[in-house]
Structure 1
Amino acid sequence: MPGPARPPRPHTLLVTGAGGAGRSTLAAAAASAAARRGHRTLLLSQEPADRLAALLGCAPPEHPGSPWEAAPGLWTLQVDAVRAFRTALLGLQERLRGALDHLGATPLDEDELLELPGAGEFALLRALTEASAATGEEPGGVAEPGGAAEGERGPARPGGWDTVVADLPPVRQTVPLLALPEVLPRYLRRLAPPERQAARALRPVLAQLAGVPVPGARLYETTAEWQRALAGVRRAVTGPHVRVRLVTEAGPLALRALGTARAALALHGLPVDSVAVNRLLPDGSADPWLAEAAGTQRRALRELRAECAADGVPLLELPHLGHDPCGPGDLAALDLPAVPPDSPASTPASAATAPGAAPQVEDRLDEDGELVWPLPVPGADKAELGLVRRGDELIVDVGPHRRVLELPSALRRCRVAGAALEEGELRVRFVPDPGLWPTPS
């Protein structure tokens, strides 16, 4: 008899885009709009707490590191990267104490730990994972399992969020960040293959023969815990409950950057909810400089409209307020659509672009003698695409972004015959390898 249905995950909006385009402001505006619609909303951001408080028009938090209510129905969590990094590293050090003692290592003290580059992104991803966990589900994390004390797993504990809005870094850092739950397990499988655990009984003998300790059960147990934690992260950042909003400004380089971002996100199975064009100047200014700047924006905006309309992606055009947005009045003036679960953007993605899933192989053996693997890369430019076959994997590049895809079983017995960019898809053609393809008996 089936158990009770698991409560749904909160609708999750990931806000990223060009650096300096106003991502934090528009993330706050989206969260504020969702809260005004009556949805219990959490805004996650790495912005300093006083900056967030000024943006939302509320008092700074009394207890940093925990969500605070910035407005009715709207909670905000300022992700403390330094604190999260120290907690995770000290936890990992404790778990590896035996190996470190064997090497004669001197343990690190908390007060000497400085934040490393990228620690903030890891902390934000962990907070997003915990906040996005369905009610009653144990949240995962990317930090060392068990490294944080129970009281430090803050964002998931209030629970019951209807909407979670994450203010993410620029898209150049966001794409690899969201790809981590897929990439790291692959590395772990290579570094600590599960089949090696079968030799557990031989470890003492091997250690004496080799003269050095052989990795013990603890290594594999820790690896398994990391695998489970990463699976939790993957559930949080992929699925029909997740949408991505790209923020840009209308400039001469916006179209190319937008195309690369959309293609990279689509390649990783992350659907774009909408594109927000921020800080649009009004037409008809008597000031020659403003009139010229507005004209440049309008020309770029026409290109962005055409690009988004061709692929059915909503384009949100947001005005320049003449000052830095500050307070609920300014956030409401941006007129940014809310992101509640019943919005059209929450419609589940099609099977071809399901988050985290690989597209289906098209069987064209009878017509052309080929199998075709269509990979979604909407907005991509042919010059920025790269393709390499490596054993049973296909490595695909979109500009600076990369995804390593495991080939379906049928394609592992084939050779790559070519590829073409057609209507937003990279269509990779395969032909059967006579030495591997089964022949009729």
Structure 2
Amino acid sequence: MRVLLFTGKGGVGKSTVAAGTAALAAAAGHRTLVLSTDAAHSLADAFGTEIGPEPTEVADRLHVQQVDAQRRFEQSWADIQGYLLSVLDVAGVDPVAAEELTVIPGAEEVLALLELRLQARSGCWDVVVVDCAPTAETLRLLALPEALGWYMQRVFPFERRVVRTLKPVLQRAAGVPMPEDTVFDAVERLHQELDEVRRLLSGPDASVRLVLTPEQVVLAEARRSYTTLSLFGYRVDGVVANRVFPAEGADDWRAGWVTAQDAVLEQVAQSFAGLPVWRSVYRPCEPVGEQALRTLASEVYGVADPLARPVGEGPFRVTRTGTGAVLHLALPGVQRSDVDLARTGDELVVSVGSYRRLLTLPAVLSRYRTAGARVEQGELQVRFEERQS
């Protein structure tokens, strides 16, 4: 099954491009689902029809779904929220305020990804196209499974044993209820489901497509997204430059825009060297409906296969050397000064800007010492060598 995620800065037209790509896939004979994990759903507007929380057929072999994030939140968070509410009740917090305090910001969008897991497991689809939230929310959303995995491996088992063993003493000392096994089970189940999503999205059949408009601010965010998605192990397989003014027949006013956009598009080609950059021209009216969306996507991709799987190795790989090994992590667009590295035991902490990834080193590397690091042509290379006896 092919999985394509579309993201970009808010307002660049990612929902339109995602919907058009899905319509093109369905027209080619693939059982296709396009679903939105964005709280501000736009797919119903794009297809010009009502769409609910379950897959809705809008054309032959094409279904659309706008995930009910609130429902997914209630299903996956209910046991955990119930425990937190009991703690706040003992503390005397107003019930209405307590309800708000137990909702983690962004949790609904994160849990909406669990719907992708269910649809992938259903076996009903050949292609799933995901219309993601705007870039910043998408990056937080995709980083969560790995961060939660660190907590589950390092802290969770110890915490669960302590509470189980000392529950009566802790409850009397703290004066608040201790979590039951159902709460721990809910956290563990949530982690397993999100980890399955992470494996699906970082696998060879999944990739992210960035949508941008030819503007400096939008391009800068797209560059950062490319770097950060690679940092967390997700493949970016192409860029769609949307709302490009056609040069033919341009009056003086539009000619100025064409010149300005051409300058940015040159930078796009340089920033995403090695990736296809597709263009979508500025249209006199917004494409609405399956046919209009399919026509747009046909013009964008031309003779290229819009469902082609990404080629080459993923962002993370390890190569052997005569004295040890080298860890390679793609970080397009960064310099050595942009990267901070630290090692703690069998973990390598890689920080780029405000984003940080904890990499659990493969067994082949954990017994080696860290001998050096460099950034070369958009790739972080960390050298490991045998420890001196």
Q: TM-score range by the shorter chain?
A: 0.7 to 0.9
TM-aligned CA deviation for residue 240 of structure 1: 1.8
Q: CA RMSD in A?
A: 3.7
How far apart in 1 are the matches of 2:93 and 2:252?
A: 65
Q: Does residue 317 of structure 2 align to residue 353 of structure 1?
A: no
Say which SS state the counterpart of residue 356 (structure 2) adopts: strand
**Residue in 1 aligned with 2:358?**
404
- Larger fraction in helix: 2
In percent, how many aligned pairs have the same letter?
35
1:11 aligns with 2:2: yes
2:373 aligns with: 419
1:246-257 alignment, distance < 5 Å: 246-253=210-217, 255-257=219-221
Aligned equivalents of 2:375, 2:29: Cα separation in 1:
44
User: Residue 103 and residue 281 in structure 1: after superposition, are their counterparts in 2 closer, same or farther (change >3 A)?
Assistant: same
Q: Does 1:80 align with 2:73?
A: no
Per-residue deviation, 1:123: 3.8
- Cα-to-partner distance string for 1:222-274 (whole Å, 9 max, x where unaligned): 44323332333223323122111111112234554333322222222211121
TM-score by length of 1: 0.74
User: What amino acid is the match of 1:124?
Assistant: A
**Contact preservation (8 Å) 2:335, 2:378:** no
Match of 2:294 among 326, 332, 351: 332
- The answer for unaligned runs of 5 or more in structure 2 is none
Mark the CA change 1:346 to 1:326 in structure 2 (over 3 Å): closer, same or farther: same
The answer to whether the 8 A contact 1:34-1:339 is kept is: no
- Written as runs of structure 1 = structure 2, the 5 A alignment for 1:11-410 is 11-45=2-36, 46=38, 51-57=42-48, 59-61=49-51, 64-94=52-82, 96=83, 100=87, 103=90, 117-135=105-123, 160-193=124-157, 197=161, 203=166, 217-253=181-217, 255-308=219-272, 310-311=273-274, 313-334=275-296, 335-337=299-301, 345-346=308-309, 350=312, 352-353=313-314, 358-365=316-323, 371-410=325-364
Give secondary structure in 2 for the equivalent of 1:404. strand
CA distance in 2, matches of 1:181, 1:198: 24
**How many Å apart are 1:33 and its aligned residue?**
1.0
* Structure 1 residue 394 displacement after superposition: 1.3
TM-score by length of 2: 0.83
For 1:22 and 1:217, locate their aligned partners in 2 and report how far apart those are by CA, in whole Å: 45
Shift of 1:404: 1.0
Amino acid at match of 2:266: R
Q: Secondary structure at the match of 1:353?
A: coil
Partner SS, residue 273 of structure 1? strand
The whole-number CA distance in structure 2 between the counterparts of 1:73 and 1:344 is 16
Measure how far apart 1:97 and its partner are: 8.7
* One-letter code aligned to 2:57: E
Any gaps of 5 or more consecutive residues in structure 1? 1-9, 136-159
**What displacement does 1:319 show?**
0.6
Cα pair distance change 1:41/1:336, threshold 3 Å: farther
SS at match of 2:317: coil
